[in-house]
Structure 1
Amino acid sequence: MMNEPLFMVPVLHEKIWGGDQLKKQFGYDIPSPKTGEAWGISAHKNGLTTIANGEYAGVKLVDVWRKHPELFADMDTTKPFPLMVKILDAHADLSIQVHPNDAYAKKHEGPRELGKTECWYVLSATLGASIYYGHTATTKSELREMVQTGNWQKLLKRKVVKAGDFIYVPSGTIHALGAGVVVLEPQRSSDTTYRLYDFDRIDQTTGKKRSLDWDKAMDVTTVPFTEPVVEQETIEEKNFQQTQLIDSPDFIVNRLRIKADKTISKTQPKDSFTLASVVDGSGEIIKDGHKSTLNKGDHFIIPSNFGDYEIEGSELEIVTTEPGEKIKQIG
């Protein structure tokens, strides 16, 4: 029986819109001041995270997934690992984009490709920073006309955000992070993005504008856009708060806040596993007398056979992601 979670070594990606907040806020060893993404937990081919500790130290998560289904509620590990967690630093606006659902991704991108539903938990935002979220078109033809004529100001909806905000982004939603926003992004394990607009930026590698995907993007965009209603529940006691940010078919996301001198008891259900990211503070996980240190920027998995454990914290904030019912049913 394991007495410590599976800690991950994040994979860092440079982006045209990236900055240096992943180093400043989380201490990551970024490859350049244009680092946009830290893939904290990933078994996707474009960013394979590695186990940092224990008997699987040095092994890629994807290999542990394939060989040890007992750690993942005996899901079908011949299929792709279903979830991913990133931290994104938007030093500049991201491209205006949309993601497909599972059926479209499999048909157009390959039989093992997943669709991409995601969510954002805002970790920091400069004053007045915003996101692009949704659109005004009422029909597909109106959407196509506004895209082709570049009527972005009329088409795109924007929303001002602040630290602590939560945004649910189902597949089919036109969206983008705006400059000055840093988010934790729990999502399906997919890297399929269809760009509608990229502000005419030039890729420094090619010297050309980045490619756009109008046809596929308009295929998959949900029209009209209706902002999802997300119901949240909070349990609160002295020095501890747990908020369920969302319970969706793809993932269940919770935020835990633990103040100093507080220990909470947890039990990992045998029918699920938990992806966890430390977004603030420090603490420990205690399992059978063994203590694992938690620091801001850590990402780890609590496997389905982990059983009972405790968490101690000092202004500790953890965001956890678990498979939703759809993933459990198809897994």
Structure 2
Amino acid sequence: MYNEPLFLKPVFKDRIWGGTKLHDEFGYKIPTETTGECWGISAHAHGPSEVVNGKLKGKTLDQVWDEHRELFAGQEGEEFPLLVKILDAKTDLSVQVHPDDSYARKVEGEAFGKTECWYVVDCGPEAELVYGHHAKTKLQFGQMVAENRWDELLRKVTIKPGDFVYVPNGTIHAIGAGTMILETQQSSDITYRVYDYDRRDDAGNKRELHIEKSIEVAMIPHEDNNFEPVLSEIDDLKISKLVRENYFTVYHWSLNGTVSKIENPSYLLVSVIDGEGELTVGGETSSTYKKGDHFIVPSSVKRFSMNGHARFIVSHPTL
């Protein structure tokens, strides 16, 4: 039986809107001064994470998924279902939208569309997100886009550290400048850009927009999706269930001391967003963790204990 967590080596992505906070705040060795994304837990073909400990050291997460399905409660499906990122938005991200599973399969030949959610790790005092729009029909939406009436079209909301935002497929959205989020999402890399502020890359080219596809998949009119957190405690661990929906269930954990027994419902995706400590399986096998670590507690670990002072974002596929 595999009785320890799978610690993973992140994959980093250079982005036109990225910066250096992934190094400054998390200590990662980033490849460029415009590193926008840390793919902490990924089996996606565009950047699979590598196991860095134990018997499976050196294997990528997609390989582990294919060869050791017993570590994932025997879950069916050709592809690992979730992807966990940390994003550093030095400048505004493009206004964008993602398709649902059906559209992704039919049009893009991909297994998953993209429903996602964000935990705001840090942001400035006046930080904003684009979340939704004000158009009532597809015709009105298309007209406002064609006429560049962005201030009228886009709906902006203010945010603060610790906020949680659920972004189902079809939601028009954009992360604002100065914001760092942890994103839990379906394992998809499909993005349709609606607006990119007329930015140009180093070669002087504007990035491609996807207006027709965006209008096809966008939620029009926009509808909010709000979830009230469900709070619980186990010993010195405070748990806030942030969302439970069709694809994933996501929690914020805050540990200040010791928790003697955590039950594992299937397999857990864990990202340490602050602090450090130790995780123990069966009272014997221990692993230390620190801020910036990403690991999976496999389904072969039925229960475990933890000690330390730390905060985590934890998720699993919704059963």
Distance in 2 between the 1:85 and 1:306 partners? 21
The aligned counterpart of 2:17 is 17
Q: Distance in 1 between matches of 2:315 and 2:238?
A: 16
Work out the percentage of aligned pairs sharing the same amino acid.
Answer: 45
Contact 2:234 2:259 in 1 (8 A): no
Q: Deviations over 1:223-272 (max 9, x none)?
A: 1101102121011467431000000111000111011x323411213xx2
Look up the match of 1:155: 153
Return the alpha-carbon distance in structure 2 between the equivalents of residues 180 and 236 of structure 1.
Answer: 33
**How far apart, in 2, do the equivalents of 1:139 and 1:310 lie?**
52
1:137 alignment partner in structure 2: 135
- Within a 5 Å distance, the mapping from 1:29-178 to structure 2 comes to 29-77=29-77, 79-110=78-109, 112-178=110-176
1:265 aligns with 2:264: no
Give the Cα separation in 1 of the matches to 2:259 and 2:169: 38
The 2-side partners of 1:63 and 1:233 are apart by: 35
Amino acid at match of 2:132: G
**Counterparts of 1:2 and 1:284, CA distance in 2:** 18
Q: For 2:296 and 2:130, locate their aligned partners in 1 and report how far apart those are by CA, in whole Å.
A: 31
Question: C-alpha distance in 1, partners of 2:2/2:66?
Answer: 18
**Structure 1 residue ranges (4+ consecutive) displaced by more than 4 angstroms after TM superposition:** none
Q: Does 1:306 align with 2:304?
A: no
Q: Which residue of 1 aligns with 2:273?
A: 279
Distance 1:310 1:237 in 2: 11
- Report the Cα distance in structure 1 between the residues aligned to 2:65 and 2:233, rounded to whole angstroms: 34
1:198 Cα deviation from its structure 2 partner = 0.3
- Counterparts of 1:218 and 1:313 in 2: how far apart (Å)? 48
Unmatched 5+ stretches in structure 1: 326-331
State the match for 1:211 in structure 2. 208
Q: Is contact 1:9–1:51 with CA below 8 Å preserved after alignment?
A: yes
Question: Separation in 1 of the partners of 2:25 and 2:2?
Answer: 31
- Give the corresponding residue for 1:329: none
TM-score by length of 2: 0.97
Change (3 A) 1:138 1:181: same
Matched, 1:292 2:287: yes
The answer on whether the counterparts of 1:132 and 1:156 sit within 8 Å (CA) in structure 2 is yes
User: Which range moves more in the overlay, 90-99 or 282-291?
Assistant: 282-291
2:177 is equivalent to residue 179 of structure 1? yes
Residue in 2 aligned with 1:223?
220
Residue identity opposite 1:231 in structure 2: E
Distance 1:80 1:92 in 2: 32
Give the Cα–Cα distance (whole angstroms) in 2 for the partners of residues 95 and 264 of structure 1: 44
CA distance in 1, matches of 2:130, 2:156: 4
Alignment-derived partner of residue 6 in structure 1? 6
Structure 1 counterpart of 2:141, one-letter code: L
Q: Identify the residue that residue 189 of structure 2 maps to in structure 1.
A: 191
- Whether the 8 Å CA contact 1:263–1:313 is kept in 2: the answer is no
CA distance in 2, matches of 1:116, 1:263: 34
Contact conserved, 2:258 with 2:305, CA < 8 A, in 1?
Answer: no
Letter paired with 1:64: V
SS of the equivalent of 1:313 reads: strand
Counterpart-to-counterpart distance in 1, 2:234 and 2:185: 29
TM-score, structure 1 length as denominator? Answer: 0.94
- Partner-residue secondary structure (3-state), 1:228: coil
2:71 aligned counterpart, secondary structure: helix
**Partners of 2:316 and 2:303 in 1: how far apart?**
17
**Counterpart amino acid of 2:246?**
P
Q: Report the residue type matching 2:173 in the other structure.
A: H
CA contact (8 A) 1:12 1:31 kept: yes
In structure 2, what residue type is equivalent to 1:3?
N
> May I ask how many residue pairs the two structures share in their alignment?
318
The separation in 2 between residues aligned to 1:120 and 1:313, in whole angstroms, is: 25
- Counterpart amino acid of residue 139 in structure 1: T
Look up the equivalent residue of 1:267 and give its one-letter code: E
Secondary structure, counterpart of 1:33 in structure 2: coil
Secondary structure in 2 matching 1:114 = coil
* SS across alignment from 1:208: coil
Question: By how many angstroms is 1:4 displaced?
Answer: 1.4
Hey, what does 1:328 align to over in structure 2?
Answer: none
Q: 1:121 touches 1:183 (CA, 8 Å); kept in 2?
A: yes
